[in-house]
Amino acid sequence: MVTADNRDEILAALGYGDLKVTGRLVDASNATLFGEITVGDKSFNCIYKPVTGERPLWDFPDGTLANREYAAYLISQAMQLNCVPPTLLREGPFGFGMVQLWIDIDEDVDLAELYRKDLPGLRNLALFDVVINNTDRKIGHLLPTPDGHIYGCDHGVTFHSDDKLRTVLWQWEQKELLDSEIEILKVLAADLDGDAGEMIKQLITSEEFSALKLRVERLQAEKVFPSPSPDWPAVPWPPF
């Protein structure tokens, strides 16, 4: 488990360790590589997505998916949800890209059952997805760990300025936000006006940044989880 105590060490290793590519994820849609990072006698598995491997998409500017993955990580930290594995941007064997700690998931968890449950960790991810406007929250992007935490991965198609929320996590539709969630949004809003905002502004367009702030304001005003949009396929296909 990534904790406040070991996070900095992991981030430093991800940033400065020696990165070797050890495989490619065959079912992945872009050049998503499996790698190993070594620092001294320690090594970590990671995901490495070089910008050069990104496939052009009709609705997102070319070469920006890695930035979006990193911005999503910064939001997860600003919301203090710890729902994205440590992620950063760096050079690698195939050039600049995003590197993310590999999470060993609990193989006994049936993801097809998990995604429908009413669990706090999933609900956190659902709120996070509304904030980042995630257009691809598939079942296979849920990473439950053996100690019961749930991370999410694959946050490349996020932060569009149009509402494009597409997710398998609709079980809280129109449910009232908890006081703790309102508080999280308040802290996030303040962070977006501060250091986190300054970093995120470097990663997405100014229009996308304004839309992000607007989503956070809207959530605070409406105090409910949104409903699926009638103008947009609200569940990814395939859902896995």
Ligand X SMILES: Nc1ncnc2c1ncn2[C@@H]1O[C@H](COP(=O)(O)OP(=O)(O)O)[C@@H](O)[C@H]1O
* Interface with Mg ion (CB under 5 A): 154
Smallest gap from residue 161 Cβ to ligand X (A): 21
153 binds ligand X (CB under 6 A): yes
102 binds ligand X (CB under 6 A): yes
DSSP characters over 47-65: EEEEGGGPPP-SSS-TT-H
Among 12, 16, 24, 29, binds ligand X (CB under 6 A): 29
140 binds ligand X (CB under 6 A): yes
47 binds ligand X (CB under 6 A): yes
Smallest gap from residue 25 Cβ to ligand X (A): 5
Three-state DSSP state, 118: coil
**Do the Cβ atoms of 218 and 93 come closer than 8 Å?**
no
Tokens of 30: 């872009």
Window contacting ligand X (CB under 6 A); options: 149-157, 171-179, 187-195, 224-232: 149-157
48 binds ligand X (CB under 6 A): no
Q: Which residues of 106-145 are buried (b: 16+ CB within 10 A; e: fewer)?
A: eeebebeebbeeeeebbbbbbbbbbbbbbbbbbbbbbbbb
Residue 30 interacting entry, from ligand X, Mg ion, none, C-beta within 5 to 8 Å by type: ligand X
When CB distances to ligand X are compared, the closest residue is 28
In this complex, which beta carbon is closest to Mg ion, that of residue 142 or of residue 192? 142
In this complex, which beta carbon is closest to ligand X, that of residue 17 or of residue 156? 156
Element spanning 151, H or E: strand 150-152
Smallest gap from residue 204 Cβ to Mg ion (A): 20
Smallest gap from residue 222 Cβ to ligand X (A): 30
- Sequence-separated (6 or more) residues with CB below 8 Å from residue 66: 49, 50, 51, 54, 89, 96, 97, 98, 156
DSSP characters over 17-44: SEEEEEEE-TT-SS--EEEEEEETTEEE
70 binds ligand X (CB under 6 A): no
Q: Give me the residues that bind ligand X (CB under 6 A), please.
A: 25, 28-30, 32, 47, 85, 100-103, 140-141, 143, 153-154, 156
